[in-house]
Amino acid sequence: MRSFTDVATIANNATAILGPARLGVRWVDVGPPVRAEIIVMPSSGEDSAHEVTLGETFPVGEETWRFADLVMSSLDEWEVTVRRVDGSEAPPIGRPWERARLSPYGQLDEAQLQAVEAALGQPLPPDYRDWLRRNNGAQPEVDHHVPGVTFTLMPERPLFGVHPQHPPTDLVPAQRVHRDPWFSPEWLVIARPSGGLLLVSTAQPYDSTVYFLPEQDMVGPISAARERKLRPVAGSMPDLVGRLAPLDVAHLPPAQLAPFGTDIDRDGGRH
């Protein structure tokens, strides 16, 4: 039986119907080489699994199909394209997600974590506390962003850790500088990227969401209205790391010459 189509796209947590079978993808690996495990579920008979590298083929009943493309928006959002092998088949492309290039500062022991909580006067949210224990913050090797969100995490603006010897990247003094003018202690600022703030909630310890506040909303006194402007950008700290991607400078607008006597900082502000 011939398939209904010559090409099919399979999103994560979804299947595609070809005719003689449904296809699913158990996992993808950006490699190199780019790989995936494709599950063939025929309308009759047993399922079969095929680990294939980008460009390799696998059987679907009496037909031969090729792992032709992988497009990733993040580690949790991707699409695999497969094509029936024939004379009109397009060559494999592959646009895998480029992993975040972050350098953790190390690890923290329980005594250090308790000292941080004592200095903050409140417990750390459990999910963030565990991430901090394992990483003690992280410094990007290059500028990073979450596609579609207007902030840039830079080497000089890392994810905060415990660094008493360097207050600008230390979690405790960061609250006095970056949180207290805008938020109550029910929030914890975990980074001050270009473009705004990254925060987690301390009032709801089992809410692992990482939120973003755009810089244009950092005006006026502390208020509940500002909290309503927070935008969730990741479900947890590991999810945030999975969504961060090195910034492609080709996506930026062309550089402009500043008028004489004007300084432009990396945020695009003038002073």
In a domain, 95, yes or no: no
**Helices 126-135 and 110-120 meet at what angle, rounded to 10?**
130
In a domain, 258, yes or no: no
Mark whether 107 and 182 lie in a shared domain. Answer: yes
In a domain, 73, yes or no: yes
Mark whether 75 and 113 lie in a shared domain. Answer: no
In a domain, 261, yes or no: no
Half-sphere exposure of 28 (CA within 13 A, CB side): 27
d(CA 184, CA 169): 20
The phi and psi torsions of 155 (rounded to 5 degrees) equal: -55, -35
Mark whether 62 and 106 lie in a shared domain. Answer: no
Mark whether 143 and 207 lie in a shared domain. Answer: yes
What CATH code is carried by the domain that includes residue 165?
3.40.1580.10
116-135 residue pLDDT tens: 999 999 999 999 999 999 99
CA separation, residue 223 to residues 62, 92, 120, 183 (Å): 65, 52, 21, 7
DSSP, collapsed to helix, strand or coil, labels residue 102 as: strand
Per the structure, the count of domains in the chain is: 2
In a domain, 265, yes or no: no
Mark whether 41 and 174 lie in a shared domain. Answer: no
Mark whether 237 and 112 lie in a shared domain. Answer: yes
Mark whether 56 and 116 lie in a shared domain. Answer: no
| Residue with the larger pLDDT of the pair 84 and 213 | 213
Range of the domain at 49: 7-84
Whether residue 205 has pLDDT greater than 80? no
DSSP state of 12: T
In a domain, 262, yes or no: no
Residue 134's pLDDT is 92
Mark whether 80 and 109 lie in a shared domain. Answer: no
Lowest-confidence range among 73-82, 102-111, 221-230, 246-255? 246-255
Mark whether 244 and 143 lie in a shared domain. Answer: yes
CA separation, residue 13 to residues 26, 165, 207 (Å): 8, 46, 24
The per-residue pLDDT of the chain, averaged, comes to 84
In a domain, 2, yes or no: no
Mark whether 79 and 113 lie in a shared domain. Answer: no
Average pLDDT over residues 252-261: 39
Of 84, 114, 129, the residue that ends a domain is 84
Residue 148's pLDDT is 82
86-119 residue pLDDT tens: 755 555 555 556 678 889 999 999 999 999 999 9
In a domain, 242, yes or no: yes
Mark whether 155 and 226 lie in a shared domain. Answer: yes
Mark whether 32 and 134 lie in a shared domain. Answer: no
